[in-house]
């Protein structure tokens, strides 16, 4: 088990290197010169002299490989450079905005799990019932509705018409409700679908038949046996969709004027604030990688067969 975890940890390194290579390489492919972008963002009239000085300061006059190694060294020290716009370290700016985004993400995960677990489970157990059709319709709409539009629909009905929740901003728990629901809806669609499929698959397994022949109550079989195993793909889904969640926050933060990381990123794109863009892509990638690793570990804890299977392969 320990070797499995270690192996998985080591397998992160190339993916991380690839991510940094991508972000460093992108800047070289970009038609915009970082030194020029900096001067424009800082409202300084670019002259050849200042440009040359800035290029040297950013290390742009060095060969690509050295720049790449340097940027990796800096990233390992959590130094993502200095924002062109505010002249403060990017990492500080990001950590200031992170809590709002994390709050939003946790809120929506909570809502998504609370709704999709019972919905998906019951839909699977009672296949082709009214309930099942409802859940399928819901997950279909959830997968097809653009979240920015859904957010405005919620604002329109619950804020403008019914005046139950504030339109935008942060502060109280009421502010969190609509953005979290908006972010949770596509997740609900995916998880409900996943859990339903997984329950349907498990019901066909011999252990269910065996439990039935032993005369165990249907409720106990479903609740204790099927549920425990069927929930496992959902955990994978939770980890795999963390990336979706992160990109989802960009849109939801734009809709609800939520002062988080995603909105900062969009502002950075408009201001050509390249260090912030790099930092966002890297953090998003790392989050994605780490969440996948965590999911694997949780799954292994639930179902130890996985690590043994891996062992056989190698």
Which residues are at the interface with other proteins (CB under 8 A)?
Answer: 15, 18-19, 22-23, 26-27, 29-32, 130, 133, 136-137, 140-141, 143-149, 152-153, 155-156, 160, 190, 194, 237, 240, 243-244, 246-247, 250-251, 254-255, 265-266, 268-270, 272, 274, 277, 280-281, 284-285, 288-289
Is the separation of the CB atoms in 122 and 195 below 8 Å? no
CB of 215 to other proteins, least distance (A): 34
CB-wise, 111 or 246, nearer to other proteins?
246
What is the smallest separation between the CB atom of 211 and other proteins, expressed in angstroms?
29
Spatial distance between the Cα atoms of 225 and 215, rounded to a whole number of angstroms: 14
CB 19 to other proteins: min, Å: 7
- Whichever of 187 and 221 has its CB closer to other proteins, that residue is 187
Cβ 277 to other proteins, closest distance in Å?
Answer: 4
Of 107 and 248, the one with the shorter C-beta distance to other proteins is 248
Distances (CA, A) of 91 to 1, 82, 148, 277: 35, 8, 28, 12
Can you tell me the distance from the alpha carbon of 154 to that of 137, in angstroms, rounded to the nearest whole number? 19
- Smallest Cα–Cα separation from 136: which of 118, 120, 154? 120
Residue carrying structure tokens 């109280």: 172
Q: Determine the straight-line distance between the first and last CA of the chain, rounded to whole angstroms.
A: 14
Between 121 and 288, whose beta carbon lies closer to other proteins?
A: 288
Q: Supply the DSSP symbol for 122.
A: H
Gap between the Cα atoms of 218 and 210, Å rounded: 12
Nearer to other proteins, 16 or 225 (CB): 16
136/119 Cα distance (integer angstroms): 10
Tokens for 157, please give them: 């009905």
DSSP conformation class of 157: I
Of 136, 120, 138, 135, residue with least CA distance to 202: 120
Find the shortest distance in angstroms from Cβ 163 to other proteins: 11
Least distance (Å) from other proteins to the CB of residue 16?
A: 10
By beta-carbon proximity to other proteins, the closer residue of 30 and 56 is 30
For residue 233, give both structure tokens: 């793909």
* Nearer to other proteins (CB atom), residue 281 or residue 294: 281
Q: Nearest distance from residue 17's CB to other proteins, in Å? A: 9
């Amino acid at each position: 088990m320990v070797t499995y975890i270690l192996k998985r940890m080591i397998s992160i390194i190339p993916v991380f290197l690839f991510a940094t290579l991508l972000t460093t390489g992108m800047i070289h492919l970009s038609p915009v010169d970082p030194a020029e972008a900096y001067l424009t963002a800082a409202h300084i009239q670019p002259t050849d002299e200042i440009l040359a000085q800035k290029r040297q300061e950013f290390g742009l006059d060095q060969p690509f490989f050295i720049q790449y190694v340097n940027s990796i060294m800096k990233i390992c020290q959590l130094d993502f450079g200095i924002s062109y716009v505010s002249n403060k370290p990017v990492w500080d700016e990001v950590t200031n905005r992170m809590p709002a985004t994390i709050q939003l993400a946790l809120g929506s995960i909570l809502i998504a799990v609370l709704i999709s677990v019972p919905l998906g489970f019951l839909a699977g157990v009672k296949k082709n019932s009214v309930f099942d059709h409802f859940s399928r319709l819901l997950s279909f709409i959830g997968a097809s509705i653009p979240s920015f539009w859904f957010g405005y629909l919620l604002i329109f009905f619950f804020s403008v018409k019914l005046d139950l929740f504030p339109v935008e901003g942060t502060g109280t728990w009421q502010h969190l409700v609509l953005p979290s629901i908006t972010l949770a809806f596509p997740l609900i669609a995916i998880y409900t679908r996943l859990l339903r499929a997984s329950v349907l698959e498990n019901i066909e397994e011999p252990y269910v038949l065996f439990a039935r022949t032993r005369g165990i109550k249907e409720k106990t079989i479903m609740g204790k046996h099927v549920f425990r195993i069927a929930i496992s793909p959902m955990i994978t889904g939770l980890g795999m969709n963390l990336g979706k969640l992160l990109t989802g926050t960009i849109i939801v933060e734009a809709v609800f004027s939520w002062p988080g990381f995603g909105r900062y990123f969009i502002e950075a794109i408009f201001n050509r604030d390249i260090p912030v863009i790099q930092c966002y892509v890297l953090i998003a990638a790392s989050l994605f990688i780490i969440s996948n690793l965590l999911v694997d570990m949780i799954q292994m804890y639930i179902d130890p067969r996985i690590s043994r299977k891996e062992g056989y392969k190698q």
